C-alpha cells in the first residue's frame, strides 16, 4: 500500500468523525466512522455471511461471463454470419439498464440464485466479450499470411495465434467485468428484495435502512466497496502474473 491514499483516507475519516462530534448529528442521519465500525463489530459474522452470499453470485456470474464472452467472441471471429447475428444483441444487452430488466429476469427465471447470477452476468458479460473479440482480431495480417503459407487449419490458427494474442485483451476485459459482476449482483439483490434467497449484502443494506440501523447500513456499504477493491486487485494481479509468465508486461 502506498502512503498518499492512506493518509488522505485517514484524514477524511478524522474530519468526518470530527464533524459528527462537533455538530452532534444523530447516527440515524449520518453515523461517524467509529459508529460504523462498532455496528460491524456488534455482529461481524452476520454481515460477512451476507458478503459471502453476494460474492458467490459475483464469481459465478464472472465465470459464466467468461465462458459465454469468450465463446461468443470466438464465434464472431470465426464467422461473418455469427458476427452479424450476435453483435447487435450483445450491444443491446449492454445498453439496457439492468435495473429496468432485473424484475423481468427475476420473475422469468424463478430460481432466486440463478436469477441473481443471470442479472449479474448480463452486466458483466460485455467487457469480456468485446475485448476478447478485439484481441482475437489483433494479430497482424503478416502473421495470418504466415499461418496460411504453412497450411494452418482454422483451429491451429485459433489455438496458436488468435487465442494467445487475445490473452492480454481478455485479462483487461476480465478486470472490468469483475467490478461489474459485483455491481450487477448487488443491483439484482436490491430488485429481488425481500424473501427467498435475499441474504446478500444489498438486502442487508435495504433491511438496515428500513430498521433505521444506519451505522450497519454504512458498514455493509463499506464491506461492499472493500470487496470491489479486492476483486479488482486480485484480477489485476492474476493478469500480471499470467503475462509475466509469458515474458510480457
Residues of the shown chain interacting with another protein in the complex, contacts defined by CB under 8 A: 140, 142-143, 145-152, 156, 160-161, 164, 167, 246-248
Nearest-approach distance from CB 167 to another protein, in angstroms: 8
User: Exposed/middle/buried for 117, CB within 10 Å: 0-12, 13-18, 19+?
Assistant: buried
Which residue, 189, 188, 192, 176, is CA-closest to 228?
A: 176
Nearest-approach distance from CB 174 to another protein, in angstroms: 17
Please say which residue, 14 or 156, places its beta carbon nearer to another protein: 156
Nearest-approach distance from CB 175 to another protein, in angstroms: 19
**In degrees rounded to 5, what are phi and psi of residue 128?**
-65, -45
Q: Is 191 left (phi over 0), alpha (psi -120 to 50) or beta?
A: alpha
Nearest-approach distance from CB 145 to another protein, in angstroms: 5
Nearest-approach distance from CB 117 to another protein, in angstroms: 33
Nearest-approach distance from CB 243 to another protein, in angstroms: 9
DSSP label at residue 194:
S
Please say which residue, 49 or 167, places its beta carbon nearer to another protein: 167
Please say which residue, 14 or 249, places its beta carbon nearer to another protein: 249
- Residue by residue, DSSP assigns 66-126 as HHHHHHHHHHHHH-HHHHHHHHHHHHHHHHS-HHHHHHHHHHHH-SHHHHHHHHHHHHHHH
Distance CA 171, CA 129 (A): 11
Please say which residue, 37 or 144, places its beta carbon nearer to another protein: 144
* 122 neighbors 101 (Cβ within 8 angstroms): yes
> What are the cell numbers at 196?
427467498
Please say which residue, 33 or 139, places its beta carbon nearer to another protein: 139
Please say which residue, 152 or 183, places its beta carbon nearer to another protein: 152
Give whole-number Cα distances, 173 to 34, 47, 87, 109, 181, in Å: 37, 30, 17, 27, 12
Neighbours of 45 (CB within 10 A): 7
Please say which residue, 5 or 151, places its beta carbon nearer to another protein: 151
Amino acid at each position: 500500500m502506498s502512503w498518499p491514499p492512506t493518509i488522505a483516507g485517514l484524514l477524511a475519516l478524522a474530519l468526518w468523525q470530527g464533524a459528527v462530534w462537533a455538530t452532534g448529528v444523530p447516527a440515524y442521519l449520518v453515523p461517524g466512522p467509529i459508529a460504523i465500525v462498532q455496528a460491524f463489530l456488534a455482529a461481524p459474522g452476520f454481515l460477512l455471511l451476507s458478503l459471502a452470499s453476494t460474492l458467490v453470485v459475483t464469481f459465478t456470474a464472472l465465470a459464466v461471463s467468461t465462458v459465454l464472452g469468450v465463446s461468443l467472441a470466438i464465434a464472431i471471429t470465426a464467422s461473418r454470419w455469427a458476427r452479424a447475428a450476435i453483435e447487435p444483441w450483445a450491444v443491446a444487452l449492454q445498453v439496457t439498464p439492468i435495473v429496468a430488466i432485473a424484475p423481468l429476469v427475476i420473475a422469468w427465471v424463478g430460481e432466486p440464485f440463478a436469477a441473481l447470477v443471470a442479472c449479474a452476468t448480463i452486466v458483466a458479460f460485455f467487457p469480456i466479450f468485446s475485448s476478447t473479440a478485439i484481441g482475437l482480431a489483433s494479430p497482424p495480417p503478416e502473421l495470418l499470411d504466415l499461418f496460411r503459407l504453412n497450411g494452418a487449419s482454422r483451429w491451429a490458427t485459433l489455438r496458436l495465434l488468435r487465442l494467445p494474442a487475445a490473452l492480454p485483451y481478455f485479462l483487461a476485459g476480465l478486470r472490468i467485468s469483475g467490478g461489474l459482476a459485483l455491481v450487477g449482483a448487488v443491483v439484482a439483490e436490491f430488485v429481488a428484495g425481500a424473501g427467498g434467497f435475499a441474504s446478500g449484502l444489498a438486502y442487508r443494506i435495504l433491511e438496515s435502512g428500513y430498521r433505521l440501523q444506519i451505522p450497519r447500513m454504512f458498514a455493509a456499504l463499506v464491506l461492499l466497496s472493500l470487496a470491489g477493491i479486492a476483486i479488482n486487485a486480485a484480477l489485476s494481479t492474476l493478469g500480471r502474473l499470467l503475462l509475466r509468465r509469458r515474458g510480457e508486461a
